[in-house]
Amino acid sequence: MVAVVTGAAGGIGLAVVRILAGNENAVAAVDRDGPALTEAVEKLAADGLAVTGFTADVSDSDQADSVIAAVEERMGPVESLVNSAGVLRTGELRTCTDEDWAATFAVNSNGVFHMSRAAVNRMVPRGRGAIVTVASNAAGTPRSSMGAYAASKAAAAMVTKCLGLEVARHGIRCNVVAPGSTDTPMLRSMWTDTADRQATLEGNLDSHRLGIPLGKLAQPADVARAVAFLLSDEANHITMATLTVDGGATLGV
């Protein structure tokens, strides 16, 4: 199976690439950071994993179309797509700039639309395929100083589910994985000292944020395993669903 993973140079995306390739899939790793992607692919190849890197910016629809075409020409029909590319701009909405808002939606929402449209238009004639979008538990739970991010992830989740409804008759499944706090560079960029890590685990009532009942951060592989499940035949009757991987932080709501 050929699987395309965006945001593949690090964090959750890289973990997804590793797990899918380890399950004997041919993986097209897509990221806009060419040097980081090259380094990641070289490390994966050294571990004997079949991964091919493709540099593209998913916020650009032409690049999204081109990279899917390039993957199919070089590797074969795309059967799976994982939308994992994402950016985070923090700050209260009343001080959020137009540029921060646009940049957040360009990748987190538009990128999902661009890549999903490009992939599904090739999947439909073949009558098979699966798409998983990595959103966030913030898509359904308000978060202070994360309004742009939360809104963009909510849009990404709904795009994925609406697409899933439209293409279900073609045998294509579209699902969402919603991680909570995961030990990635994106999360660590929000911390200023070691106390912030503990606050993430314990929560902060002043910012109306619950802690994590399991008492630990998710690891990227925890999220990647959920993605792999939804792409697999074990989930062949699941579509338009959200699988939340947050240690209970949103209380299952």
In terms of phi and psi (left: phi > 0; alpha: psi -120 to 50; beta: otherwise), the region of 216 is beta
Q: What is the mean pLDDT of residues 23-37?
A: 97
Options 149, 180, 211, 223, the catalytic residue: 149
Asked whether residue 48 carries a pLDDT value surpassing 70, the answer given is yes
Q: What is the pLDDT of residue 146?
A: 93
The percent of residues in the chain predicted with pLDDT above 70, rounded, is 95
Select the CATH number that applies to the domain covering 2-183+222-244 from these four: 1.10.10.10, 3.40.47.10, 3.40.50.2000, 3.40.50.720.
Answer: 3.40.50.720
- Tally Cβ neighbours within 10 Å of residue 74: 12
Asked if 219 and 11 touch (Cβ cutoff 8 Å), the reply is no
In our burial notation (b when 16+ CB lie closer than 10 A, e otherwise), range 119-143 reads bbebbbeeeebbbbbbbbbbbbbeb
Say what the pTM is: 0.94
Across 206-230, average pLDDT: 92
134-177 confidence digits (pLDDT tens): 999 999 999 899 999 999 999 999 999 999 999 999 999 999 99
149 noted as active-site residue: yes
Domain boundaries, the chain: 2-183+222-244
Q: Is 195 exposed, middle or buried (CB count within 10 Å of its CB: 0-12, 13-18, 19+)?
A: exposed
Q: Please list, in sequence order, all residues whose beta carbon lies within 8 angstroms of the beta carbon of residue 229, skipping any fewer than 6 positions away.
A: 235, 243
Inter-helix orientation angle 111-123/147-167, to 10°: 10
pLDDT tens for residues 196-208?
666 677 777 777 7
